[in-house]
Chains A and B, each alone.
Chain A
Amino acid sequence: MSMKILVGCKRVIDYAVKIRVRPDKMGVVTEGVKHSMNPFDEIAVEEAIRMKEAKKASEVIAVRCYSTIQQETLRTALAMGADRAIHVEVPAKDCENLGPAQVSKVLAALARREGASLVLLGKQAIDDDSNATAQMTAAHLDWPQATYASKVSSCDGKLTVTREVDGGLETVEVSLPAVVSADLRLNEPRYATLPNIMKAKKKKLDKLSLGDVGVELRQHLAVVAVSDPPTRQAGVTVDSVDSLIEALRHAGRI
């Protein structure tokens, strides 16, 4: 019952936005583009709040590490029902280099600092699709991990997690403390109601520096170039099955 849950909230370019590559080919255009919380993180926040509502958890802490701009991702988590939030400030110049390797270190440090017994994360962010932060966080903490959760139930200091795998569903049991990553079908996140948006304004949002959490960020990767995917070639119309087969043979597909 005294379980504290740490939930990661990444701010990403909204899923509905058409992504454009920057003219310098070193990234994508983010200025003036609509951002929102990573949808998988939203699912993680929802699951944490449900566990709190079911009295399985005592506190839900939403966390994010980035530069100071735009707190709305954490505010959204608070309006959904998280109890408080922690923002780990990263100097603006280092933000471009933030990846799973760096973020997982920060999350692990925060989990220790807060005495959390569950770190709940989205399985991946829809911008870089790394799908590595949860796994790396578990490694840093040396905790068990249950990734791609589509169902989570907790009992006696253990979590039973159903995972969607290629062959169907796999059920695993992990003992707490643990790291869990949320898949698409885990739940349907709620949206913030007006009274809760107002209540969220009074909730605590702590700001910590990297020094406060004792993490030094090192850069392991360098972006060489970012480019658009090749545009799809127009197809051709064929007039019969025979000519279709002929065309496929010609293209070396059959």
Chain B
Amino acid sequence: MNNSITNQLRCALQYKNGYMNKLLKQTSTALFSSINSNLVVNDKSKLVSNPLFQSKGPSLCSTPALFLHKSQLHVSNCCAGQPLTQLNEDEIMLKESVRRFCSTSVAPLVSSMDEAASLDQGILKGLFDNGYMAIETPPEYGGSGLSFFASILTIEEIARFCPSISVVCDLQNTLLNTLFLKLGTEEQKNKYLPKLASEFTGSFCLSEAEAGSDAFALRTTASQDGNNFIINGTKMWISSAPHSGVFLVMANADPGKGYKGITCFIVDANTPGLTVGKKENKLGLRASATCEVHFDNVVVPRCNVLGEVGQGYKYAIEMLNEGRIGIGAQMVGLAQGCLDATVPYLLNRKQFKQPLYSFQVRTTLPFPSCSTASRSNSRSTASRYELPSPSFPAQPQADQTAALQLPGTNYPPLPFLLNRKLIKQPLYSFQCAEVATRVTSKCVELLGGVGFTKDLPVEKFYRDCKIGTIYEGTSFIQLNTIGKIVGMEYTRDAV
């Protein structure tokens, strides 16, 4: 039995590496074909019935492509045979309610918020009132107790209308709430989670002037003084800072140990010495404030350490992994929103007595499918975090390793799958950002002159999407990670 599984995995590995190499070439054709092949594979998932994976005979793996899918499919096999990308009734209701909130409250203000580079306070309040800021937070802390998958759906749907609002929601759910939930003491959770659910945003402070992609080169220090820590330094690119009631600050408590001194501190916004500095004047996501935050002898008590002293670097890496899936969802939603604004115009606008669509469709057919392919990817990645079921009612988030166990078996997590998981987040983040970049760019072109004006939201999507290839790991860093993992799989012993 073990043998046959090993064989299957080998086949999958071969297929997958071919796929990765294509992607790594980073040419647009390679990107497109890989995305499209992924889509085909995804479609096949619906054809592959459960018994293929459940029966353990040796001859199951006729084509590696199909198999890769089966291994992905095992996730969906666990949830009543429903494909991952097909939403259940509750998920549709969730999506509907988000869409209604966005089309009535957000959409009319998108353009003016972009122009004024400010977040409408009514919308921020709406995010709290509708429960979008505490999706996974359990009800006892004022949240809805939904799944990570629900967060991903919400982020994607909001991004269809306004990527700036989407990122505010994304950070609150995938970074702030999750960090408190996973690492907070009962006291910390009781103090902050209800407020993050109803009152204020939180900000995650990692980057500095000298510490961008090289995050662990951060220079903010936290020197111990009796039962307190004194934080000094300046953080950059801090999202939502002006609205935030709490800051999670990565500072080095023991610079002698290098990055192993990095510790995560909870700092209240009103702590003396903490000041929010100048707001960046940005290309996109203008409604979401990005600021410098200064820490000048900010005193925090020891009980404000989140998790353990010296473990901050680990927390940062782990949380950003999850965050990347959120960013992927944001980019997918953005691409979808852009298509929503573009395609109806192409169908209506006539030149040479024909709708533009009848001309453009020949050259642009791949775009809707790109968006669909990456959507299924970001969703399946989200589901991966919470086996056995990505659907409501929310399962407690499964341990990430447990999530990779084969369902219905007691096999230990397979190292191959573990690596696949590592590769997934950078891959999706990269792929979704690239899709959004191409879709928005092409949409501007398809619309012609009007696409170049602010009369349609398309130029805004075009500006907003650029951040997708930059934040929570630039595309170059993602490729670096992907390449490293692929290399590792070839240099160590096969499974």
Q: Which A residues between 165 and 211 are near B, CB-CB below 8 angstroms?
A: 191-198, 201
Closest B-chain residue to A201, C-beta based? B393
Give complex CA distance A75, B91 in Å. Answer: 12
Chain A residues with Cβ below 8 Å from B96 are 36, 191
A191 touches B139 (CB 8 A): no
Q: Evaluate whether A76 and B93 lie within 8 angstroms (CB atoms) in the complex, with A193-B129, A194-B130, A194-B131 already known.
A: yes
Task: Identify A197's interface contact among B94, B101, B129, CB under 8 A.
Answer: B94
Chain B residues with Cβ below 8 Å from A195 are 131, 139, 143-144
Chain A residues with Cβ below 8 Å from B146 are 194, 198
Shortest CB–CB separation between residue A48 and chain B, in angstroms?
A: 19
Shortest CB–CB separation between residue B97 and chain A, in angstroms?
A: 5
Task: Identify B97's interface contact among A70, A71, A194, A201, CB under 8 A.
Answer: A194
Chain A residues with Cβ below 8 Å from B130 are 191, 193-194
Chain A residues with Cβ below 8 Å from B92 are 72
B100 at the interface (CB under 8 A from A): yes
Q: Evaluate whether A192 and B90 lie within 8 angstroms (CB atoms) in the complex, with A198-B139, A198-B144, A198-B145 already known.
A: no
Main secondary structure of the interface of A (DSSP, over half): helix
A79 at the interface (CB under 8 A from B): yes
Chain A residues with Cβ below 8 Å from B135 are 194
Contact with B along A89-102 (1 / 0, CB 8 A): 00000000000000
A191 touches B100 (CB 8 A): yes
Task: Identify B90's interface contact among A70, A196, A201, CB under 8 A.
Answer: A201
B140 at the interface (CB under 8 A from A): no
Q: Which A residues between 196 and 243 are near B, CB-CB below 8 angstroms?
A: 196-198, 201
Number of CB contacts from chain A to chain B under 8 A: 51
A194 touches B101 (CB 8 A): no
Contact with B along A17-39 (1 / 0, CB 8 A): 00000000000000000001000
B132 touches A194 (CB 8 A): yes
Shortest CB–CB separation between residue A188 and chain B, in angstroms?
A: 9
B186 at the interface (CB under 8 A from A): no
A191 touches B90 (CB 8 A): no
Contact with A along B139-156 (1 / 0, CB 8 A): 100011110001000000
Chain B residues with Cβ below 8 Å from A193 are 97, 129-131
Chain B residues with Cβ below 8 Å from A70 are 89
Q: Evaluate whether A71 and B89 lie within 8 angstroms (CB atoms) in the complex, with A193-B129, A194-B130 already known.
A: yes
B359 at the interface (CB under 8 A from A): no
A201 touches B392 (CB 8 A): yes
Give complex CA distance A61, B43 in Å. Answer: 42
Q: Which B residues between 288 and 341 are near A, CB-CB below 8 angstroms?
A: none
Select the residue from B130, B143, B145, B393 with max chain A CB neighbours within 10 A.
B130
A197 touches B93 (CB 8 A): yes
Q: How many residues of A contact B (CB 8 A)?
A: 16
Shortest CB–CB separation between residue A218 and chain B, in angstroms?
A: 32
Select the residue from B97, B100, B132, B392 with max chain A CB neighbours within 10 A.
B97
Chain A residues with Cβ below 8 Å from B97 are 79, 191-194, 197
Shortest CB–CB separation between residue B338 and chain A, in angstroms?
A: 19
B139 touches A197 (CB 8 A): no
Closest B-chain residue to A189, C-beta based? B100
Shortest CB–CB separation between residue B43 and chain A, in angstroms?
A: 17
Give complex CA distance A72, B92 in Å. Answer: 9
Chain A residues with Cβ below 8 Å from B131 are 193-196
Q: Which A residues between 69 and 119 are near B, CB-CB below 8 angstroms?
A: 70-72, 75-76, 79
Shortest CB–CB separation between residue A29 and chain B, in angstroms?
A: 19
A75 touches B89 (CB 8 A): yes
Closest B-chain residue to A194, C-beta based? B131
Q: Evaluate whether A191 and B101 lie within 8 angstroms (CB atoms) in the complex, with A36-B96, A71-B89, A72-B89 already known.
A: yes
Give complex CA distance A5, B260 in Å. Answer: 63
Give complex CA distance A1, B145 in Å. Answer: 34
Q: Evaluate whether A75 and B93 lie within 8 angstroms (CB atoms) in the complex, with A191-B101, A201-B393 already known.
A: yes
Give complex CA distance A213, B41 in Å. Answer: 50
Give complex CA distance A201, B144 in Å. Answer: 12
B89 touches A194 (CB 8 A): no
Closest B-chain residue to A36, C-beta based? B96
Contact with A along B382-417 (1 / 0, CB 8 A): 000000000011000000000000000000000000
Give complex CA distance A70, B93 in Å. Answer: 12
Give complex CA distance A196, B93 in Å. Answer: 11
Shortest CB–CB separation between residue B488 and chain A, in angstroms?
A: 40
B94 touches A194 (CB 8 A): yes
Shortest CB–CB separation between residue B135 and chain A, in angstroms?
A: 6
Shortest CB–CB separation between residue B133 and chain A, in angstroms?
A: 9
Closest B-chain residue to A196, C-beta based? B131
Chain A residues with Cβ below 8 Å from B129 are 193
A192 touches B93 (CB 8 A): yes
Closest A-chain residue to B94, C-beta based? A197
Shortest CB–CB separation between residue A179 and chain B, in angstroms?
A: 29
Closest A-chain residue to B105, C-beta based? A191
Shortest CB–CB separation between residue A49 and chain B, in angstroms?
A: 15
Q: Can you name 16 A-B pairs with beta carbons within 8 Å?
A: A72-B89, A72-B92, A72-B93, A76-B93, A79-B93, A191-B96, A191-B101, A192-B93, A193-B129, A193-B131, A194-B132, A194-B135, A197-B90, A197-B93, A201-B392, A201-B393
A70-B89, A79-B93 given. 13 additional CB < 8 A pairs?
A72-B89, A76-B93, A79-B97, A191-B101, A193-B97, A194-B94, A194-B132, A194-B135, A194-B144, A197-B144, A198-B392, A201-B90, A201-B393
Q: Which residues of B contact A (CB under 8 A)?
A: 89-90, 92-94, 96-97, 100-101, 129-132, 135, 139, 143-146, 150, 392-393
Q: Which residues of A contact B (CB under 8 A)?
A: 36, 70-72, 75-76, 79, 191-198, 201
Of all A-B residue pairs in the complex, the 4 with the closest CB atoms, nearest first, are A194-B131, A194-B144, A191-B100, A193-B130
